Structures are given as C-alpha cells and as structure tokens.
Amino acid sequence: MVAVIRDNEETPAPALDPDRIPRHVAIIMDGNGRWAKQRGLPRTEGHRQGKENLRRIVEACVEFGVEILTIYAFSTENWERPPSEVNALMSILELVLNQEVKRLHKNGVRVCHIGKMDGVAPHLQEKIRKAVELTRNNDRLILNVAFNYGGRDEIVHAVQEIVRSGMPAEEITDEVISQHLYTRGIPDPDLIIRTSGELRVSNFLIWQGAYSEYYVTPVYWPDFDKEELRKALIEYGRRRRRFGKIDEQVEQES
C-alpha cells in the first residue's frame, strides 16, 4: 500500500488536558493600535478588529471549558488617550452592548462588570446595567468586563468602604479586602494572558493576580485566535503552581 503524504498537511493541535484547564482566565487585550499601524490603518480599525476577535475568544472559552473569562477593555488610565480615540473606544463598547449582548445571552453567557461607573456616560452606564441584569441567571461562562477599571482604584474603593463601615482595624483580613473588591465572589484568575508582548501588568487585577500564572505572547490581540488560546492553555497545563510551598507538598495535596 502506498502512503500518500501531503506536504501541506497540518499537524493536529495538541490535545488539552481537561483536568488542567484554568477555571478563570483573564486577558489584557493589547496591541490593537500596533496591529492597525502595521497595516497602514487607523488605530480605531484595530479596536474594531479587536471587538470581532472577542466574539471568537468567548466562543473558544466555552468550548475549552473555561468557566470565567475576565477581559481588560478600558483602564482608568486610558481616559488620557486623545479624545478622538477615547470616543471611538466608547462607541465600540456601545456597539458591543447593542449588538453582542443578545447573542451572548442566547449562548448562556453571564456578563458582569468590574470597574467604576463614575466618568462613564449615563447612557452607557444604563446599557451596562441592563446587560448585567439580562444575563444574570446564565451559567455557561461568566464574562467579566473590566471597563473603567484600575487595580489601584479598586483597592482605594475597597479601603473606603471598609473604613466607612467602621470595622475595627484588627478585623481587617485578606478575606475582608477581597470581599470589598469589584471582583467579590469571583475566584482569583488562574491564568493572566497579555497579548502584544508587553511585560507589565498595567494596573490589572493587582490584588487578585498575586498567584496567577502569567502568559505573554507577541501576537497582537486582533490575531489572538482560538489556536493561540489553546497554546496558552497548554502552557498553563505545564506550569507547577506552588503557592509558596515546595514541590513535595504540592504532590501530596494533588
């Protein structure tokens, strides 16, 4: 029998181990501007392509069995970009809220928001609240949108709430602080992915990411597709999380 070998036959993607899928994945969706610049396009086109990519990645997360996906959509520092870019980003968010939420709802995705509403246009605030309300009973995937989010702002907000409650200083614990963050009730991210190669946190989940695994890829966000996500999850599966302990202890616990 003659074996037919095709030159361009794709090698199958390595399988994902269902026991090593991160429960909570967080993504710093970075590189839209550079993606556009590389193609001689306006930065806003990069943001538009980024929005399209988000849809694909949400679907891939459902397929791979990720339970929670947190995305960094707009930071408290992003207000300092040129007004035309800020306006374009707000319009894209509005498009997502107008067009994508129904689809997400149909697919069983629960939308949550982390960040502050102060500074967000009232009509957008209303649409965010409605999206959260509409999808609140869905349980296929939690899509946690970090919009007008900053890790330092979140901690300041938590401290203010705790002080206002009159809680005695000695009662303030890790747990108490966690319960006053925007992410209260959501487990810490297992894996934080940053696209576009930057090696920094940029004020994202600075408390919650204390023991998260980090994965940085040079791929720009609009090109970060399902196969790129698969690579990140495979790499996560190879990591050994020690949480400050030694290997032997971790082995005994598992």
Residues within the interface to ligand IPE (CB under 6 A): 28-34, 72-75, 78, 89, 196, 198, 200, 202
Binding mask 19-58 for Mg ion (x = CB under 5 A): -----------x----------------------------
**Torsion of the alpha carbons at 31, 32, 35 and 41, rounded to the nearest 10:** -150
53 in catalytic set: no
80-56-61 Cα angle (round to 5) = 100
What are the b/e assignments for 90-100, b being 16+ CB within 10 Å?
Answer: eebbeebbeeb
Which CB atom, from 72 or from 215, has the smaller least distance to ligand IPE?
72
29 binds, options ligand IPE, Mg ion, none, Cβ within 5 to 8 A by partner type: ligand IPE
CA–CA distance, 234 with 230 (Å, rounded to integer): 6
| Contact assessment for residue 26 and residue 205, using Cβ atoms and an 8 Å cutoff | yes
34 binds, options Mg ion, ligand IPE, none, Cβ within 5 to 8 A by partner type: ligand IPE
Which CB atom, from 80 or from 170, has the smaller least distance to ligand IPE?
80
Q: Which of 19, 78, 118, 144 is catalytic?
A: 78
The minimum distance between CB 254 and ligand IPE, in angstroms, equals: 34
Sequence letter at residue 225: D
The minimum distance between CB 33 and ligand IPE, in angstroms, equals: 3
Which CB atom, from 21 or from 195, has the smaller least distance to ligand IPE?
195
Sequence letter at residue 201: V
- Is the Cα dihedral 33, 35, 41, 46 positive or negative? negative
The minimum distance between CB 120 and ligand IPE, in angstroms, equals: 14
The minimum distance between CB 35 and ligand IPE, in angstroms, equals: 7
190 in catalytic set: no
Burial class (CB in 10 A: 0-12, 13-18, 19+), 72: buried
- Is the Cα dihedral 162, 163, 165, 166 positive or negative? positive
189 binds, options ligand IPE, Mg ion, none, Cβ within 5 to 8 A by partner type: none
Q: Among all residues, which ones are annotated catalytic?
A: 30, 78
The residues binding Mg ion (CB under 5 A) are 30
